[in-house]
Copies of this chain bind each other. A is one copy, B any other.
Amino acid sequence: MPTVSSEELAAAAGVNSAKLRKDFSYLGSYGTRGVGYDVEYLVYQISRELGLTQDWPVVIVGIGNLGAALANYGGFASRGFRVAALIDADPALAGKPVAGIPVRHSDDLEKIIQDNGVSIGVIATPAGAAQQVCDRLVAAGVTSILNFAPTVLSVPDGVDVRKVDLSIELQILAFHEQRKAGEEAAADGAVPATAARKQSAGKGPDGDMPAVMPA
């Protein structure tokens, strides 16, 4: 399939074709009127804009179950990420290979960052160690941090942090699940699934109040 129309792409993505064309237009005029978009050319342009064509060395700090899962994750290489090193504070792990990469001791963290020109770090340590690891990464020159530890990290200006909370997505599913159940029960006086029910929210002892309610 050498070319594709905005209509086809939009249908595949579940969005409006005008939106897709307008979004693409912000990247440049990469289509041909009457024909569509050249697939290979479009893929390259989008890849470049997203930074997929660059090589990004990253370090993963904290090689527990999650760190090991990340090290084994196949999706990184295809998006331009290269795991420059795995780092853990446990001396017993040092030298052992995980996903084919030997684990290094955290004493060498600064040297590893500098030798490899790493600007992105992944923190998969327990919560208690995360801020300290973060501080060392930043001091060594890392400017973007992906944090899996259940802590809010504080960093100086100019450093980006993104926090991944593995339970947030479950939370969202549970929210929709709750609404599904609510709709089924809507006939017998249950709270409707829409957010618009402003008037019914009296604070009295009204049955939907739990023991936790303040006096």
Q: Are A162 and B172 in contact (CB under 8 A)?
A: yes
For A52, what are the chain B residues with a Cβ–Cβ distance below 8 Å?
171
Q: Are B212 and A174 in contact (CB under 8 A)?
A: no
A21 interfacial contact with B, CB 8 Å: no
A25 interfacial contact with B, CB 8 Å: yes
Can you show 26 pairs from A to B with CB atoms below 8 A apart? A26-B196, A26-B198, A27-B195, A28-B197, A28-B201, A41-B203, A44-B212, A50-B171, A50-B175, A51-B171, A51-B174, A51-B175, A53-B210, A54-B178, A56-B170, A69-B69, A69-B166, A76-B167, A79-B171, A81-B170, A144-B173, A144-B177, A146-B173, A160-B177, A162-B169, A162-B173
Q: Are A72 and B80 in contact (CB under 8 A)?
A: no
Provide the bound-state CA to CA distance between A41 and B84, in Å.
48
**Number of contacting residues on A, CB 8 A?**
71
Q: Are A165 and B28 in contact (CB under 8 A)?
A: no
